[in-house]
Amino acid sequence: MSIYKLTLTISCLFIAILACNGRGCDYYFKDHEDLGLSVYSGHIFESFEVFDVGVGVPVPLHFVYSGNELVNYVEGYNSTHALLTLGLGMLLNHNENPSKINIRKYLSEDPPLLTFPSNHEPSIDIRFEYSASISRGDQLFVHYGEEWFDERGMTMLDTTKHLTDTDNSSPKIPGCIKEYAALREGKLVAKRDVREGVTVETVRAIFLPATSTLVNYRGPFADILWWVKHFPSSTASVTAAGDATVSASSSSTLDFSHALLLSGYGAFYGMRTGKEGESSNVEARWDYEVPGRLTSEGLPRLLKFVATRPIQKGEELIVGNVQSDTHDNSYSRRIMVK
């Protein structure tokens, strides 16, 4: 075979792969030791193109200021609630330098992505757009507000050495939810066929103490939480000021150790309900592989959603190791069973 024919064959094969798998992900994550989880562009984009539309969830202020990480993921909304924006936008890092801010956000004018089961109210969606031309490998930044760090007693980290992706020691985190799935009528549905074994998404897990107040709360914030009973690696108990923790050893029938707030689209995966003919297609798997991705309690910070069988375009993504727990005949929790 001539070099010309070989080159042509390889080119055709490459085009065929692109046609089958798309152009690849629009973004990717890296977990830096000094900066934490960071979002980078996977392609070239122009100003005003859409990065993501996040689902806005009102959160009562007494949950925000209870000594947990939740305060780092919300912004002002009204006198009684803060606003948590689920999706990719909640993982963007802050930058004070106007010339480095390349994402801006607005209230979305499109129909709401979600109606909350608890009160049938629509979500307050936020549209994230590129505010400048973006090159492949640029880190994506948004501006949280002038007082964001001061209000939390935090010091802004130096982001200058991670403006572009030059850290070869930090591998890309697998998963690309925007390539594989989309929210449609409140359900996370496959946009294309997905092979068994593919990591659909990797999300950041935020652990919240399973306080009696949170366990008994009903509202949009409760609708998006997952619940876990215990982690074998956890060696410390988690408590919140002024509220009792419902521990794994408690005689309570609820018997939870933590509530989980999942970044990205983690809150929107379907769960098993026991209906006849129901078939799960995804498993949620904790990432214990990298010690730096564990909390001070030894709990994993990242959770992967992996296809357990071939998924067809149009199927809802249903997690096999999360089940529905109907409480008081009116409210269903997502319970992670392993």
| Run of H or E residues at 11 | helix 3-21
Q: Which residue has the tokens 């592989």?
A: 289
Pinpoint the alpha helices (H) of 172-292.
177-180, 212-215, 220-223
Q: DSSP readout, 76-120?
A: E-SSSEEEEEESGGGGPEE---TTT--EEEEE--SPPS-B-TTT-
| Tokens encoding 227 | 């619940």
Handedness of CA 28, 33, 36, 38 (dihedral sign): negative
pLDDT tens across the length of the chain (338 residues): 444 444 434 344 433 333 344 456 899 988 877 777 889 999 999 999 999 999 999 999 999 877 778 888 888 889 999 999 999 998 898 888 888 899 999 999 999 999 998 888 999 999 999 999 999 999 999 988 777 777 777 777 777 778 888 777 677 888 999 999 999 988 999 999 999 999 999 998 888 888 888 888 889 999 999 988 765 443 333 322 233 333 333 333 446 778 899 999 999 999 876 666 668 999 999 876 655 566 666 677 889 999 999 999 999 999 988 877 765 555 677 888 76
Read off the DSSP letter of residue 277.
T
CA angle, 174 then 176 then 180, to 5°: 130
| Per-position b or e across 234-258, b if 16+ CB within 10 A of its CB | beeebebeebebbbbeeeeeebbbb
Q: CA separation (Å) from 245 to 17, 43, 180, 242, 257?
A: 51, 45, 37, 10, 8
- Give the tokens for residue 181: 């799935």
b/e for 122-140, b at 16 or more Cβ within 10 A? Answer: ebbbbbbbbbeebeeebbb
Question: Residue 192: what pLDDT?
Answer: 95
Q: What is the largest CA-CA distance in the chain?
A: 77
What is the pTM for the complete model shown?
0.81
CATH code of 25-336, in short, is: 2.170.270.10
